[in-house]
Amino acid sequence: ISHGHGGSHSSSGGSTLLGYIGIDTIIEQMRKKTMKTGFDFNIMVVGPSGLGKSTLVNTLFKSQVSRKSAGWARDEKIPKTVEIKSVSHVIEEGGVKMKLTIVDTPGFGDQINNDNCWEPISKYINEQFEKFLKEEVNITRKKRIPDTRVHCCLYFIPPTGHCLRQLDVEFMRRLSHSVNIIPVIAKSDTMTIEERQEFKQRVRKELENNGIEFYPQKEFDDDMEDKSDNDKIRETMPFAVVGSDKEHQVNGKRVLGRKTAWGIIEVENPNHCEFAQLRDFLIRSHLQDLKEVTHNIHYETYRAKRLNDNGGLHPISSNDTQESNL
Amino acid sequence: MQQKNLDGYVGFASLPNQVYRKSVKRGFEFTLMVVGESGLGKSTLINSLFLTDLYSAEYPGPSHRIKKTVEQSKVLIKEGGVQLLLTIVDTPGFGDAVDNSNCWQPIIDHIDSKFEDYLNSESRVNRRQMPDSRIHCCLYFIAPSGHGLKPLDIEFMKRLHEKVNVIPLIAKADTLTPEECQQFKKQIMREIQEHKIKIYEFPETDDEEENRLVKKIKDKLPLAVVGSNTIIEVNSKRVRGRQYPWGVAEVENSDHCDFTILRDMLIRTHMQDLKDVTNNVHYENYRSRKLAAVTYNGVDNNKAKGQLSTKSPLAQMEEERREHVAKMKKMEMEMEQVFEMKVKEKVQKLKDSEAELQRRHEQMKKNLEAQHKELEEKRRVFEEERANWETQQRLEQQKLEASRTLEKNKKKGKIF
């Protein structure tokens, strides 16, 4: 949203108002509009099988939204190549509708030879950018371009307790410039608190050494307030999470958790794991920012590269069913 | 064959005791291999199994050191007068790369080389020293994904189940809830059967009691284990465990994991059987394959070290004698070389000291000469002075005489 100043007043200090005008109601107007149209959010989960990706997504959105719950069998065979499978749901809360798309990548990192297993994923992300670009370049554009671009990629790091694997580094290095990557440590109930701290530090150092900029990227911090907020978040990343869609009774309350023979792991208890932090960060504070960074930065980078490569795009009318001149 | 009844007590019932005493004196050897991806707790489990810090801060586990593909550590442990030479073969870096094709090859090569060593030492004429470094058991660590076996797991086990006793374990089992663990185990066993992988089978015995125990173990395969290096206080007892904010996972509590079952089976009940199966089945397979390869072609197929000859024992003995003589000669030559080198050194040293002495001698002579000259100089000066002094004396004398003569003449003159 950009606020334009009236043409006659060139001072940007702002003049004092002589009475109540009602400019601040624009926020309410925006809210009403958004509630009517709803919005899209596309999240991709990447990691080798068995790290609890589907469970975590279900826990995040408190509903059975993952691919596994939408009808596929639980002990499906590991596919021979990396597949991209996406499932969409419309969820509603407080009058706000969200079309949530989960993109799953079964087969990533599961083979004996995992060379180039990141390529199908990279291709998919670029394809979504391409789709959006084509729509944008049309002469008669749709009123609201459907946004299938990947806004956020949760990368699951296995809790080895030692350091990042080669595969992790390779993937993140190659994709951190086309999509917002949020690394999470999966199944973190494997580690004690000290082990977890050490592991996190080592992972952060390795990410830094390899020049991997995960979201929130330092270079996109708008102002000091943003920077200090984001710095705090960056210090605790990668979030060590535990997912669960089962409820148990703890102290008279029903909580989401995992019941083991030596205790119950509460998913939303900040002393047990960092799931609550991840959820707040992802959904309650930075959801819109993720979309904006994807649109303003990642998409723009893609677009600029495409335009430069082709020496210019020729807009096509929507009646044209032949191949575009792109 | 007929079985005869005895009329009295003969005494050969004590044979087991005799065997036992001999074995205890000899001590036992056991070689254990651990295979699995990085970070599955292999080193920790070994420490927990043998209640020693095989890998500690001063001697960290293979994951903390420069990576080699196959690493061996030996430790000698004693308990109740029985001595066990334990060798742990670790495989750091297994399955950690992006492309893991053939990562099992170094392991297969290692196992084969141990078989070959044994085969060679068995074929010698002098067999007094026969160290058994064959791998008796391979613990394969499966990551606790909760789904099933990974392609890498299946490939590895398929290639090794005919060479070594494979015992699959679920690592870091405190990640799984009891239900998840059950499901996971069932899934794994299903896949193992599907791919016809022959994991180590517990032998059937005639004893009812033992059979029940064995059946209990079989139901729990693959064993889900947890290892720990730290000791924690729980209900005023000190146990090995892992401290979480939600509780303590105890390693030796059979409700928490199958660690005690693994330890009992591996060390207390089936260690000897593992060695026997290795010797009677896996080693024999290797041996027959190797020998068949040799005799089939008539030409020796294996030119590498470990050439198996099919000559007669006399020829073999001759060859060994020649080997021995060659070895002795080599040692002799080496010693001579060393001796010569030492002699040369000493000669050089002596020469050096001689030169040193010579130099000093020259130096002293020079000093002496210098002093001599100085003295000469002094003497000359002295002589000169003396001469001067004498001349002066004479002059004085002459003067005196002259004056006396003058006075005499004066006196004479006056008298006239």
Q: Which residue of B has its CA nearest to A243?
A: B175
- Do A166 and B97 make contact, defined as CB atoms within 8 angstroms? yes
**Do residues B239 and B251 lie in contact, with contact meaning Cβ atoms separated by under 8 Å?**
yes
**Residue B102 and residue B153: Cα distance in Å, rounded?**
12
Q: Which of B297, B323, B281, B295 is nearest to B115 (CA)?
A: B281
The reported pLDDT for the residue numbered B54 is: 62
> What is the identity of the amino acid at B223?
L
**Residue B2 and residue B402: Cα distance in Å, rounded?**
161
Residue B126: pLDDT over 80: no
Nearest to A193 among B177, B245, B253 (CB): B245
Selected for mutation to probe chain B from A259, A262, A275 (highest B CB count within 10 Å) is A262
Q: Which residue of B has its CA nearest to A118?
A: B98
Residue B69: pLDDT over 80: no
> What's the gap in Å between the CA of B88 and the closest CA on chain A?
21
Mean pLDDT of B46-54: 76
Instruction: Identify the bridge partners of residue B234 per DSSP, sorted by sequence position.
Output: B237
CB neighbours of residue B9 within 10 Å: 7
Q: Which residue has the higher pLDDT, B263 or A314?
A: B263
**Residue A135 and residue A141: Cα distance in Å, rounded?**
6
**Do residues A43 and A152 lie in contact, with contact meaning Cβ atoms separated by under 8 Å?**
yes
The reported pLDDT for the residue numbered B296 is: 58
In what helix (H) or strand (E) does residue B86 lie, and over which residues does it extend?
A: strand B82-90
| E strand map for chain A | 39-46, 85-93, 96-104, 152-157, 181-185, 239-240, 247-250, 253-260, 263-266
Does the CB of B60 have a partner CB in chain A at under 8 Å? no
Selected for mutation to probe chain B from A160, A162, A258 (highest B CB count within 10 Å) is A160
**Do residues A71 and A179 lie in contact, with contact meaning Cβ atoms separated by under 8 Å?**
no
Nearest to B100 among A113, A161, A271 (CB): A113
Nearest to A160 among B39, B98, B155 (CB): B39
Cis peptide before A183 (omega within 30 of 0): no
Mean pLDDT of B10-22: 80
**Do residues A227 and A170 lie in contact, with contact meaning Cβ atoms separated by under 8 Å?**
no
Q: Give every strand in the sheet of A247-250, ordered side by side.
A: A247-250, A253-260, A263-266
**Residue B38 and residue B96: Cα distance in Å, rounded?**
7
pLDDT digits (tens, 9 = 90+) for A73-126: 444 566 666 788 888 888 888 778 888 888 988 888 888 888 888 889 999 999
The reported pLDDT for the residue numbered B351 is: 94
**Do residues A264 and B246 lie in contact, with contact meaning Cβ atoms separated by under 8 Å?**
yes
Provide the whole-model pTM.
0.72
> What's the gap in Å between the CA of B293 and the closest CA on chain A?
32
Q: Which residue of A has its CA nearest to B36?
A: A160
The reported pLDDT for the residue numbered A320 is: 41
In what helix (H) or strand (E) does residue B272 lie, and over which residues does it extend?
A: helix B271-277
pLDDT digits (tens, 9 = 90+) for A202-211: 999 989 898 8
Q: Which residue has the higher pLDDT, A127 or B210?
A: A127
Q: What percentage of chain B has pLDDT greater than the value 90?
A: 22
Instruction: Work out the mean pLDDT of chain A and round it to a whole number.
Output: 81
Q: Which of B30, B120, B129 is nearest to B73 (CA)?
A: B30
Does the CB of B151 have a partner CB in chain A at under 8 Å? yes
pLDDT digits (tens, 9 = 90+) for B74-99: 888 787 778 888 888 888 878 888 88
> What's the gap in Å between the CA of A157 and the closest CA on chain B?
12
Selected for mutation to probe chain A from B101, B147, B228 (highest A CB count within 10 Å) is B147
Contacts of A166 in chain B (CB under 8 A): 96-98
The reported pLDDT for the residue numbered A104 is: 87
Q: Which residue of B has its CA nearest to A108?
A: B98
List all residues of chain B from 97 to 116 with a beta carbon under 8 Å from chain A: 97-101
Instruction: Identify the bridge partners of residue B77 per DSSP, sorted by sequence position.
Output: B84
pLDDT digits (tens, 9 = 90+) for B260-310: 888 888 877 788 888 888 888 888 888 888 888 776 554 444 444 344 445
Q: Compute chain B's Rg from CA coordinates.
A: 46
pLDDT digits (tens, 9 = 90+) for B310-345: 556 777 788 888 888 999 999 999 999 999 999 999
- List Cα–Cα distances, B308 to A256, B108, B132, in angstroms: 66, 21, 19
Does the CB of A136 have a partner CB in chain B at under 8 Å? no
pLDDT digits (tens, 9 = 90+) for B151-204: 888 999 998 888 899 999 999 988 888 888 888 999 999 999 999 988 888 877
The reported pLDDT for the residue numbered B414 is: 66
**Residue B319 and residue B323: Cα distance in Å, rounded?**
6
Contacts of B47 (CB under 8 A, 6+ apart): B53, B54, B55, B227, B229
pLDDT digits (tens, 9 = 90+) for A249-281: 888 888 888 888 888 888 888 888 898 888 888
Q: Would you say the ipTM is above 0.90? A: no
List all residues of chain B from 216 to 275 with a beta carbon under 8 Å from chain A: 242-250, 253, 255-256
> What's the gap in Å between the CA of A110 and the closest CA on chain B?
7
Q: What's the gap between Cα B12 and its chain centre?
A: 42
**Residue A199 and residue A202: Cα distance in Å, rounded?**
5
Q: Which residue has the higher pLDDT, B159 or B229?
A: B159
Tokens found for residue B297? 């072609």
Instruction: Identify the bridge partners of residue A103 per DSSP, sorted by sequence position.
Output: A44, A86
**Do residues B234 and A250 lie in contact, with contact meaning Cβ atoms separated by under 8 Å?**
no
- Do B244 and A187 make contact, defined as CB atoms within 8 angstroms? no
Selected for mutation to probe chain A from B145, B246, B251 (highest A CB count within 10 Å) is B246
- Do A165 and B172 make contact, defined as CB atoms within 8 angstroms? no
Burial class (CB in 10 A: 0-12, 13-18, 19+), A244: buried
What's the pLDDT band for B55 if we cut at 50, 70, 90?
low
**Residue holding tokens 């989401």?**
A256
Contacts of B98 in chain A (CB under 8 A): 113-115, 166-167, 170
> What's the gap in Å between the CA of B214 and the closest CA on chain A?
25
Burial class (CB in 10 A: 0-12, 13-18, 19+), B416: exposed
The reported pLDDT for the residue numbered A9 is: 45
Contacts of B86 (CB under 8 A, 6+ apart): B29, B30, B31, B32, B50, B74, B75, B76, B77
